[in-house]
Structure 1
Amino acid sequence: MLSARIRLFIAALLLGPILLYWGLGIAPSEHRTEPPRALQEGEDYFATDAHTRVFNMKGQLEQELISPRLDHYPDQQISALSTPHIVLYREDGTVTTTDSNKGTLPDDRSKALLTGDVRVNDRSTTGIETRVLTEKLTLYPDTKFAETDLPVTILSDNVRYDAVGMKASFEEQTLNLLSNVQGKHENEK
């Protein structure tokens, strides 16, 4: 009887480390390593045909974001957007749309950085449409404000302005051109 207990004890001593190895997945000589940096900075989710809406406190539609693909990167706390289309609605019923080739949007949605063939269309209550063309634009959707320090072209009715740098408030319908401003007006025929 005593020898059976000793055999059982010896078997437990021999099998114990093996069972622990299988149970924990690591050998005593191994150590866990962090995943490669590229995996840590990778996307944690993506969405195709993304369409988000933001409503104000009165329940009225205030913003829309449409993008064929949205990739979220948790380490950077941003979403990368492909060909984003952003619509800003004002209380007076007018609409401003912004399109670009690419964009990034932080998790707090405070600003959108739009790059590549950026086009802004703004229609005032008088019916006059203003288009802004540039290669990079920072858009603050909550305040309906936009700015760039790159060359910009503004087209409105029969007027064209070219400048370097711009600050625009779509809510107040103001546009400030920062430097090298040139304008051209064509009379209607």
Structure 2
Amino acid sequence: MKSEKIKKHSLLIISILAMILIVWQNSDNKIVPVASNAEQEEPDFFIVNGKYTVYDADGYVSSIMKSSEAKHYPDQNIALLKSPNLLVYREDNTTLRLTADNGRYKMTEENLELINNVTMIRDEQLKAPWTLKTESLTVLNKSRFITTKQPVTISDNVSILEGEGMNAWVDDKKIEITSNVRGNYAQ
């Protein structure tokens, strides 16, 4: 009877450890937005299916940001976004579209941090547009600069370029992969 009890307890412990191991092995290694002080305060307003347009000094549209949901936190003047979708207009009338699962917009600085499943598409109207994928990046709207320290993959219909970290100057049409660059070109 005592050995039967020990067997049952041992089986229970082994089952619990097996469940923990299975959950641990199947967990995603995605970047999760860090809880900020903003999330600890109450939002002063929220917007559903919002649209925010930024104009340049000459009155032309510089960018349009849409989000399925935005919550504004007044103490830090930031908005936490769900499904942000940013369309950036360049001087030559071509566009960059940036999307992600989540975002954090610092309203005073006009900086947007995109988090989880980030995609940037250049000239999306083309048959085979150029696409960048990463897990997080930051858009500095005032200086029109985009940066990340995360791994990036850039692809089009004939090539793939991978690396660690990226800097992009929107109006100069210049992109720099900062380290561990690897490429593949096949026509």
What is the Cα deviation at residue 40 of structure 1? 7.4
Task: Determine the C-alpha separation between the residues in 2 that align with 1:147 and 1:115.
Answer: 12
Is 1:155 aligned to 2:161, yes or no? Answer: no
The question of whether the paired residues in 2 share the 8 Å contact of 1:132 and 1:152 is answered with: yes
In the alignment, the residues of structure 1 paired with residue 173 and residue 159 of structure 2 have an alpha-carbon distance, to the nearest angstrom, of 16
1:63 matched residue in structure 2 = 63
Cα distance in 2 for residues equivalent to 1:54 and 1:175: 23
Residue 86 (structure 1) aligned with residue 86 (structure 2): yes
Q: How does 1:1-189 map to 2 (within 5 A)?
A: 41-123=41-123, 129-187=129-187
1:62-82 CA distance string (max 9 Å, x none) = 110100111001122210010
1:143–1:171 CA contact under 8 A, matched in 2: no
Q: Deviations over 1:130-168 (max 9, x none)?
A: 211000001112222111111100113311011011111
Q: 1:153, 1:161 within 8 Å by CA — same for their partners in 2?
A: yes
Counterpart of 1:19 in structure 2 is: none
> Rg bigger for which structure?
1
The AA in structure 1 aligned to 2:112 is A
Q: When the two structures are aligned, how many residues end up with a matched partner?
A: 150
Gaps of 5+ in 2: 1-36
TM-score by length of 1: 0.73
Q: Secondary structure at the match of 1:172?
A: coil
Aligned partners of 1:39 and 1:170: how far apart in 2?
Answer: 31
What secondary structure does 2:143 align onto? coil
After superposition, the CA RMSD in angstroms is: 2.3
Q: Please state how far the C-alpha of 1:38 moved relative to its aligned partner.
A: 9.4
